[in-house]
Amino acid sequence: MREEKMRCEIVVLPGDGIGKEVTGEAVKVCRTLASLASLDCSFRWGDIGGRAVERWGVPLPEETLTLCQQADAVLFGAVGGPQWDTLAYDLRPERGLLQLRKALNLYANLRPAKVLSPLIEASTLKREVVEGIDILVVRELTGGIYFGAPRGIEITEDGEKAVNTMVYTRQEIEQIVRLAFELARQRRKKLTSVDKANVLEVSELWRKIVNQISAEYPEVEVSHLYVDNCAMQLVRDPRQFDVIVTGNLFGDILSDEAAMLTGSIGMLPSASLRGRFGLYEPVHGSAPDIAGQDRANPIAAILSVAMMFHYTFHRPDLAHRVERAVEKVLAKGYRTPDLQGPYTTVVGTKQMGDLICQEMEQE
């Protein structure tokens, strides 16, 4: 009896700016993996962000949400651009992504920051500081100050007043912290929890719960850092970190800082998870200034495909195949414009995708 092919149903949301270009190369890598591993990969496309506002009048159409709910995974590009900056708050492209995360309950955002050997010199920090770093930031994604109520701007007797509310429940903290412990146990067994417990009651509860759950993971070394100290330590001695777990606001800031240790934000993938289901996206934005010019770096989107096969489809062998291909292409000196330097060959978005697929096929 012929073995049934593994099915992978993927929704692609290119979004705005360079999103279409980088997701195009990511889909190309998916198709190459499918042919190499005899997978049955199907793709459906949807609108989100500014493109969706122009076509549907909202940044997240119901049609797009339904597509995502029916899929195994979502491959996301980027949203936003200056032409939509004057829209009402609820119509801005970025709201589409926030709404999608909330609607799909994607509570865990995983952002790896790993320095690849060929790109050590691209980092703004010294080789001896960044060489060998391999950090995973685990960010709570559907709670905290981005979603807390009350919120808004109002007119008072003393003038305008703006309010945002940071709220976390025990359940929200427990689920993200437990996932971080599980991931740390699979890696180097070191977890750093980041908060601001000296001034925030939310952080007091966060730290209390981390300490309680740590009793279930005696093999994992746990430490606590205030967010300002963590930001300093990431620049001073990033190799001390393995897994960092923190809330939505702090995770947003720290993961971007960690990303720049690697030399370019164009290199960083991410996964937003709920169990096996995930939304996978590059960390970078829509970069409207280079959109349509074949200059965007597709590697972050391609490495997001690697994360997809690791966390959703449970094929770490295919994930590693993508990662090895990326490193081999970079080792040969090929670079997109954001990474160009002495003794490098500058290539465009599409050619970088082609080169990576060729390396995958040659293994």
pLDDT digits (tens, 9 = 90+) for 223-244: 999 999 999 999 999 999 999 9
Residues 143 and 255 in one domain: yes
- Residue 140: name the closest of 244, 227, 264, 38 by CA: 244
Question: pTM of the full predicted structure?
Answer: 0.91
228, 237, 289, 317: the active-site residue: 228
Task: Assign residue 299 the CATH number of its domain.
Answer: 3.40.718.10
What's the pLDDT tens digit per position in 275-312?
999 999 998 999 999 999 999 999 999 999 999 999 99
Question: So what's the pLDDT on residue 301?
Answer: 97
Residues 100 and 141 in one domain: no
Sequence-distant (≥ 6) Cβ neighbours of residue 35 within 8 angstroms: none
State yes or no: is 146 an active-site residue: yes
Pairing of strands 345-346, 334-335: parallel
28, 47, 146, 195: the active-site residue: 146
What's the pLDDT band for 96 if we cut at 50, 70, 90? Answer: very high
Q: Where are the alpha helices (DSSP H) in the chain?
A: 19-37, 50-56, 62-69, 93-103, 127-130, 170-186, 201-214, 227-236, 248-260, 299-311, 316-331, 349-362
20, 28, 114, 196: the active-site residue: 196
What's the pLDDT tens digit per position in 318-336?
999 999 999 999 999 999 9
Residues 200 and 307 in one domain: no
Q: Are 33 and 360 in contact (CB under 8 A)?
A: yes
**pLDDT-above-70 percentage for the chain:** 99
Task: Indicate the residue among 225, 260, 295 that finishes a domain.
Answer: 260
Residues 297 and 183 in one domain: no
The answer, yes or no, to whether residue 1 has pLDDT greater than 50, is: no
Q: How many domains does the chain have?
A: 2
Inside any domain, residue 239:
yes
State the chain's mean pLDDT as an integer.
Answer: 94
Inside any domain, residue 221:
yes
State yes or no: is 5 an active-site residue: no
252, 280, 328, 334: the active-site residue: 252
State yes or no: is 196 an active-site residue: yes
State yes or no: is 102 an active-site residue: no
Alpha carbons 108 and 45: distance in angstroms, whole number: 24
Residues 105 and 142 in one domain: no
What's the pLDDT band for 3 if we cut at 50, 70, 90? Answer: low
Residues 278 and 253 in one domain: no
Q: What average pLDDT score do residues 44-61 get?
A: 97
Inside any domain, residue 241:
yes
134, 256, 294, 354: the active-site residue: 256
Q: What average pLDDT score do residues 129-148 get?
A: 93
Inside any domain, residue 307:
yes
Task: Indicate the residue among 241, 260, 279 that finishes a domain.
Answer: 260
Return the minimum-mean-pLDDT range out of 107-111, 167-171, 259-263, 347-351.
259-263
Inside any domain, residue 42:
yes
Q: Are 152 and 173 in contact (CB under 8 A)?
A: no
Residues 253 and 273 in one domain: no
Residues 170 and 97 in one domain: no
Whole domain around residue 308: which residue ranges?
A: 1-109+269-363
State yes or no: is 252 an active-site residue: yes
Alpha carbons 219 and 164: distance in angstroms, whole number: 38
**pLDDT-above-90 percentage for the chain:** 85
